[in-house]
Amino acid sequence: GQQVMQIPQYQHVQEGEDFTTYCNSSTTLSNIQWYKQRPGGHPVFLIQLVKSGEVKKQKRLTFQFGEAKKNSSLHITATQTTDVGTYFCAGPKRSGGGADGLTFGKGTHLIIQP
Amino acid sequence: DGGITQSPKYLFRKEGQNVTLSCEQNLNHDAMYWYRQDPGQGLRLIYYSQIVNDFQKGDIAEGYSVSREKKESFPLTVTSAQKNPTAFYLCASSTSGTDYNEQFFGPGTRLTVL
């Protein structure tokens, strides 16, 4: 079945340093979504990437979708304590399958040391 | 306010007992989902429903059951057949039709089996 791999599992950074998490799918994706889960909270949608090679920015966050639409990355510039949490990538379980649900990566836990 | 509610927030149950987790949404979404989250495992799909009176098994449906009698409601029953039910359960919803729709998550229910 479809697998979505995400690395690293944990990332410790000093406040102000940059952070990157990488996502790889075993299958080509119609789109990829990124979610953030704060400690003790629930996942919250951040962004969706659809086009091959697409790059989107949200303030200090930069999201990329690979040319083959099988990998993606999230880069945070100059981390702040508010960035703490787990970042998940997710792809549709079946491209063109309607709302069949998402396959999530295991997430990257971002830990920031002040 | 539009959103998804889950109750209860914490739930304790004895081995051998069935328990039902509530999920209600007022977003007028057609599709609803149940995910299970274990530490280090990301989110795994249990069941999903794209329309009232219809639902499909996800990746880990064994030991669980659902119903979708109303558009707003998608309760999950954890049966005594579920071998390791202690986990964080998340309900989500999205507009249906394509695999491009973001998912909105409820606050979750933490189930502990004693």
Query: B50: which strand partners?
Result: none
Which of B102, B104, B109 is the best substitution to test chain A (most A C-beta atoms within 10 A)? Answer: B102
Closest CA to B4 of B91, B114, B99, B109: B91
CA pair distance B66, A99, nearest whole angstrom: 17
Higher pLDDT, A3 or A100: A3
Q: pLDDT of B65-114, one tens digit each?
A: 999 999 999 999 999 889 899 999 999 999 876 777 899 999 999 999 98
CA pair distance A30, B106, nearest whole angstrom: 25
Give Cα separations from A67 to A23, A28, A51, A90 (angstroms).
13, 10, 8, 17
Residue with tokens 């502990």: B112
Amino acid residing at B109:
T
Q: pLDDT of A25-62, one tens digit each?
A: 999 999 999 999 999 999 999 999 999 999 999 999 99
With the C-alpha atoms ordered A47, B5, B31, B2, is the resulting torsion angle positive or negative? negative
* Closest-approach residue (CA) in chain A for B39: A106
CA pair distance A53, A66, nearest whole angstrom: 5
CA pair distance A79, B34, nearest whole angstrom: 32
What number of other Cβ atoms are within 10 A of residue B9's Cβ?
9
Which of A6, A21, A102 is the best substitution to test chain B (most B C-beta atoms within 10 A)? Answer: A102
